[in-house]
Each structure stands twice: as C-alpha cells, then as structure tokens.
Amino acid sequence: MATYIVTGVAGFIGSHLAEALIKRGDKVIGIDQFNHYYNPKFKRQNISYLKQQPAFALLEANIQDLNWTSLLEGIDVVFHQAAQAGVRASWGEGFTGYTTKNLNATQIILEAAKQTPSLKRLVYASSSSVYGDAETMPTSETVCPKPVSPYGITKLAAEQMCQVYYRNFDVPVTSLRYFTVYGPRQRPDMAFHKFFKAVLKDEAISIYGDGQQTRDFTFVSDAISANLAAADVPEAAGEVFNIGGGNRVVLADVLETMEQVVGKPIKKEYVAKAKGDARHTSADVTKAQKILGYNPQVPLEEGLKAEWEWIKNLY
C-alpha cells in the first residue's frame, strides 16, 4: 500500500484524485486550507466520502505552516493540486495571494522534497494559462509560453521552479498543464457550473466577448487518469505534459450542446471580454499519449450530462 499526499484535497480535482487513490487501495494524506475564494461548504461536501475512509487523513492547514521535511517521510508521491485559482481575480491587490499560494508554497514543498530520497514523484498541477494567446493550434509543449494574466504568470513560475529543483537536486517532478477541466464538483466560479446554475434559476448566463472563443475541455476523470500515469511512469520525471480533452470547441457550439442536455433554450447576455482570458486554447496531447499512455475517454456531451446531473442535486 503506497502513501500519497494530495494538496488542495477538498478542491474540484484534488477530491476526485484522492478518491481514485483510496478506491484502488492506497493511503492518502489530504491537505487543504478551506479558504474563502469560494464557499468552503462546497469543499466540505467534496470530501464527505473521503472522511468516512480509514485510509484517508485530513490536515486542515496552510501549506506554508507545515513541517514538510517530517511530513514527506515515507511518502511515495505528492500530487500538488493546491493553488490560488482564477484569472480575473489575479489583477491588482489580489496578486499577492497568487504569488504566495502558487509560487512560495510550491517552493516550500520542493525544498523539503530535495531532502526526501524516498519520494518517487511530485506531480505539479499547472495550467494551459501558461500559453496565453498561443500562435500555434493545437499547442504543443515546445511552444514558448506567453501568459496573458498574472495568474498564468504564477503558474508558469512555479512550473519553472519545479524544473530548477529537478535539474539541480533530482527532485522527480512532472508538470501537467490542464486545459479547462470540467465535471461534477467543478468550482462555482467556473463557466459550466455558472451556466448550469443559471439555467436552474432561469437566469441569463454571461458570455464574455462574442461567444466565438474556443476551448479544449477536459473531463475530470481524464485529468485524474493523467495524474495517476504521471506518478507511475518513470519517463515522466522532469517532463511537462498538456492534458486536454482532445478537441477544440467553439463556446457558442458548447452552449447548443448544453441546451440539448438541459432540454430548453439558454438565455444569454453578452458582456465585454475579460482581461487576461485567452481567445483560444487547444492541447496537442501527442506527448502525453506517447509517454503517459494518456487517451481522453469522455466526449463533451457525456461529460456535460454528468455535470448537469450533479448540479441539479447540488442546488
């Protein structure tokens, strides 16, 4: 039985990841601060199953207040999911929270990891935000990152920090650049969650810009399979991987699919394009397929149905 640490364990992806580990018979130490970026009650709900499992232990703490040297003793893999999320909130005074939680916190874990020879892998949750408005579609990992938001800058900086510790101290890091992950437990500030909630309340949804922006949507179970592979495959150490859903979709088309899922027209309200939002994202997942055996399984309509069922139960 292996022992894993999952930071941000009560979050959207972290809770699914910890569940997958527990269900296959592993031990998990989950760490979460339960901050108020969105209502912590959602996070408490996310880990209701986990808290009933004897192989799960919860540490409710700030990453920077923990003794990571002793915490990492006997740990096989760290999945570092915790971060200050959100592109739009990363401008202005809020930026300090992003540097602290995305960069400083990652450095503290890496510093302890370099003194932990038993550690087999540190999987860092990066983001497609590091690319910004990429000139090449689909975008491969060899494309030079050019973030267009302060959030994207902090995610890229932490990713580079991981590489520095890999090159200098052989800390076995792998970074996964997530492309718009969705599904049950999605954060309430994320688009599909907001859209479905608006449908339930019979309110108009806000579309930033003209609705012709494109995204590569990744269902959460596919993101989880990528994490599990990144932890196990020896060749993944020191590498960066795109994790996408395998196809790029125009937002207006997604809304049509959502209308089919919910069975009625969706009211739309067009608002100004948000600063820091990339116009298009599209993942070239060839490298992840080759090295991790990554192969996204869940088509968009199926994934949207799963999220809609969850949203109906939630509200």
**Residues classed as catalytic:** 151
Q: Quick one: tokens of 113?
A: 């990891």
Q: If we measure between CA atoms, which residue out of 183, 253, 258 comes closest to residue 215?
A: 253
- How far apart, in Å, are the Cα atoms of 310 and each of 112, 133, 168, 251? 38, 32, 45, 21
Please enumerate in sequence order all residues whose Cβ is within 8 A of that of 10, keeping only pairs 6 or more positions apart, or say none: 30, 32, 34, 40, 43, 44, 46, 47
Name residue, tokens 């450095």: 107
Q: 159 with 129: CB under 8 angstroms?
A: no
90-98: long-range pairs with CB below 8 Å, 24+: 90/149, 90/150, 90/151, 90/154, 90/276, 91/149, 91/150, 91/275, 91/276, 95/150, 98/150, 98/151, 98/154
In the 8-state DSSP scheme, what is residue 139? B
